[in-house]
Structure 1
Amino acid sequence: MAPGIAIEASPRHPKRAMNGDLGVEEILRRRNEELEKELKGSLEREEKMKAELKKTKERMRMAEDAEERLCSQLGDLEAEAVDQARSYQTQIRSLKEELSRAQKLLQNAKSLKF
Structure 2
Amino acid sequence: MRNQAGQWREGDPEILVVLDTGYDTPRIAYLLGDLPVLVLGRMRAHRVLRCPAPRRLAGINGRPPERGGEFVFGDPAIWGDEHVVTSTDTRFYGMATVRARNRSPSG
TM-score, normalised to structure 1's length?
Answer: 0.16
Structure with the higher helix share, 1 or 2: 1
TM-score, normalised to structure 2's length?
Answer: 0.17
Higher relative contact order structure (alpha carbons within 8 Å, sequence separation ≥ 6): 2
